[in-house]
Amino acid sequence: MSFHEKSAWVMATVLLAGAGFYFRTVASMSAELGAVAPPVLPVVIVYVVAIVLLSIFGHILVAVSKPSEADDTMDERDRIISSRAGAFSGILLGIGVITSLGHYLFYYDGNLLFHMALGALMLAQLGEYAARIVMYRRGV
């Protein structure tokens, strides 16, 4: 497994854990309020800081496990995989944002729009790393 594939695994795991934390927090806040909770800056900050710190920690572990791969530059195959995964991510983001905006047009819930748009960003990034993993596994 190349360093870039390991990096994709780390990021997918970190983003999945971060999304779980964020949406679990929003769901519990919403249950307490009896409506969709508004965006709360401290929760978003904790989410972002956790993602950054866990990403750094995960990449340090991957680099320490096999230092010879850690300085690996992207070859032609890695660039193709990155490009295709990025295109897939862009499609997911577009679908997610259009869905979020369409939902807003019918329900006029700005709080839900925020959470749906942030969820679309999370899903798009997670989709990019998942696509990378699949392409590395398939040998693209």
Nearest to 70 by CA among 82, 62, 58, 78: 62
The answer to whether 128 touches 7, Cβ cutoff 8 Å, is no
CA proximity to 69, closest of 81, 61, 57: 61
For the whole model, what pTM was predicted?
Answer: 0.91
Give the pLDDT confidence of 74-111 residue by residue, as tens digits. 889 999 999 999 999 999 999 999 999 999 999 999 99
The pLDDT score that the predictor gives to residue 33 is 96
- Taking alpha carbons only, the member of 19, 12, 20 closest to residue 122 is 19
For residue 2, the model assigns a pLDDT of: 87
Give the domain ranges of the chain. 3-138
Q: Does position 8 have pLDDT exceeding 90, yes or no? A: yes
pLDDT of 43 above 90: yes
Report pLDDT for 80.
Answer: 96
Higher pLDDT: 2 or 80? It is 80
- Is-contact 6 62, C-beta < 8 A? yes
